[in-house]
Amino acid sequence: MNTAASTVRRQGLASFVARVIVSRVIVSRGIVSRGIVARVIVARVIVALMTLPLGLGACGSSGPYANRGDGDVGRPALPSVTSVDADVLPIRSHFEIQGADLTGASAVSIGGVDQSAITVLSDTSVRVDRLAGGTPVGAQPLTVTTPQGTSVPIQVEVIALAIHPPILAHGAAPRLMQMGLTGGFANVSAAMAGTQLGVAGVQPDQFDVTLIPDAVPTDMQDLLVVSDGRTFAPLPVRVIHMLLNEFDCDQAGSDTGEFVEISTGVPGLQLEGYVLVLFNGSDDQSYAAYDLGTTDNDHTNPDGLFIVGNATLVPAPKLGNSWGASSLQNGADAVALYQGSSAAFPNDTPITDLRLIDAVVYDVKDSSDAGLLAPLFGVGPEAVQVNEGADGSSSTDSVIRTTAARLDGRAWGIGIPTPWLPNKPKP
C-alpha cells in the first residue's frame, strides 16, 4: 500500500477508536443503552472492514461518496443546489448553477421543464447552456438530478425577453420587451462584448437600445442587462454588419435585370424587422418599400446575400421582394436600408436618417442631388453620389461595394452584375 493510502487507513482507525471512546462516555452517563452502542459498534466495524482495504472513500470529504456524517459513511450523497449566477434568467440565456455533489448530473428541471442543454462543469457547478423556450416565466423551482437522486428545489426568476429586430445589424436601435419580470425594468443598463450600449425609453415592460455600434463584433454576442441592480443571465443575440452590396438600375432596352443586393455575411438569415426603401430624386420622397424576411421563404443565401429586384431575375428574388420591369429608377435617386417595416414608408415619405442602416445615392450621368445626399450622409466626405455609367457602359455594368464602410458614398465602384453572388469588379 502506498504512503497516502496508509495514512488514510491510520486516520480511519483513529477516528473509529475515538468514536468508540465517545460512545462509552455517552453510555457511562446513561444517555443510551449498552445494547444500542454495541449494535452501532458492530455496524461500524463492518463498514470499516469494507472500506479500509480500498484505502480511500470512507474518509474523503467531497465527491459522490462523501462522508456526510456518521450515519452516511459510504453512502452516495444527494446533489444539493445553493444558487445560480444571475438574478434573472431570460428564456434562451445561459447561466451556471452552484451546489455540491453535482458530478454526473443528468437533468436540470426549471418550472417543471427539463433543460436538455446542460454541461456539468465540476462537482459544484452545472451550466445551463440555453434556458428552454417552454420554461414558464415567474418564480420557478430549480432542481438538479444525478444518479444519486434529485436536489431540494431552489426558487429562480424566469422571464421572457423579446428583442426586436431579432437580428441586430450595426446601426440598429432594438427594443427589448419582457414578460414576467417582477417589478419591471428600472435603472437599466445594457452591454455587449465589452461595449456599453445606450438605453432610452425605459418603461416597466420595455426599453430601447439607442444604437448597436459598428465596434460590437459580428456573430453571436451575449447581451448583458442589469435592471435595478438585478443581473440578467447573458442572452446570446446575433450581430451582423448589413450593407447594400450591389445594385443595377440600368440595362439595355426595357430594364429587366434591375436589383439591389444586400450582404449580411451570414447564410440562412431571415431579415425580419428591416426594410429596403427607394427614394425619388425629383422630390426626395419614397416611391417604394420592401419588407425583408417577412415569410419563412425569405432567407439569405449560402453567400449571406439577399436580393430585391425584377421578378425575372435568375435566381429570382424571394416572395414579396420583386418588382416589374423598369421599377428601379435610373437616377439621380437613392436606395436605403432601414430598421423598420414598409408600413413606416408609405409612398411619398420624406427621406430620413431615422433608423437608417445603409444607403447609396446614384445616377446614370446625372448631377449630384444634395436633397438626397445630405439627409442620408450629412455634408462630410461620405456624401458622394455614384454613377453607374462611370465606365461608359451602364447598360451592362453594375455598381458594387468595394469597402465595408457603412453609410459612405466613397465605398462604391463599377462591376459586372452578379445578383445572388459575390461581387466581381470590372476588369
Q: Site for Ca ion (CB under 5 A): how many residues?
A: 11
Q: Which stretch binds Ca ion (CB under 5 A): 49-57, 83-91, 311-319, 328-336?
A: 328-336
Contact 268, 300 (CB under 8 A): yes
Interface with Ca ion in residues 344-403 (CB under 5 A): 394
Chosen residue from 101, 157, 208, 255 binding Ca ion by CB under 5 A: 255
Alpha helix segments (H runs only) across 52-182: none
Taking the complex as a whole, the smallest distance from the CB of residue 158 to Ca ion amounts, in Å, to 44
How far apart, in whole angstroms, are the C-alpha atoms of residue 41 and residue 325? 97
Report strand pairing: 386-387 vs 356-363.
parallel
Here the cell at position 180 is 414576467
Taking the complex as a whole, the smallest distance from the CB of residue 244 to Ca ion amounts, in Å, to 11
Q: Which stretch binds Ca ion (CB under 5 A): 87-95, 101-109, 241-249, 279-287?
A: 241-249
How far apart, in whole angstroms, are the C-alpha atoms of residue 337 and residue 388? 19
Interaction of residue 66 with Ca ion, rule CB under 5 A: no
Interaction of residue 300 with Ca ion, rule CB under 5 A: no
Nearer to Ca ion, 123 or 333 (CB): 333
What 8-state DSSP symbol labels residue 306?
Answer: E
Task: Describe the chain by its helix, strand, coil percentages, rounded to 5.
Answer: 15, 35, 50
Q: Which stretch binds Ca ion (CB under 5 A): 71-79, 122-130, 211-219, 416-424?
A: 416-424
Nearer to Ca ion, 132 or 416 (CB): 416
Interaction of residue 249 with Ca ion, rule CB under 5 A: yes
How far apart, in whole angstroms, are the C-alpha atoms of residue 208 and residue 185? 11
Separation of first and last alpha carbons in the chain: 80
Taking the complex as a whole, the smallest distance from the CB of residue 337 to Ca ion amounts, in Å, to 15
Chosen residue from 8, 161, 328, 364 binding Ca ion by CB under 5 A: 328
Nearer to Ca ion, 258 or 291 (CB): 258
Here the cell at position 216 is 460590437
Contact 136, 160 (CB under 8 A): no
Contact 99, 74 (CB under 8 A): no
Chosen residue from 101, 123, 157, 248 binding Ca ion by CB under 5 A: 248
Residues at the contact surface with Ca ion, assessed by CB under 5 A: 246, 248-250, 255, 261, 328, 330, 394, 418, 423
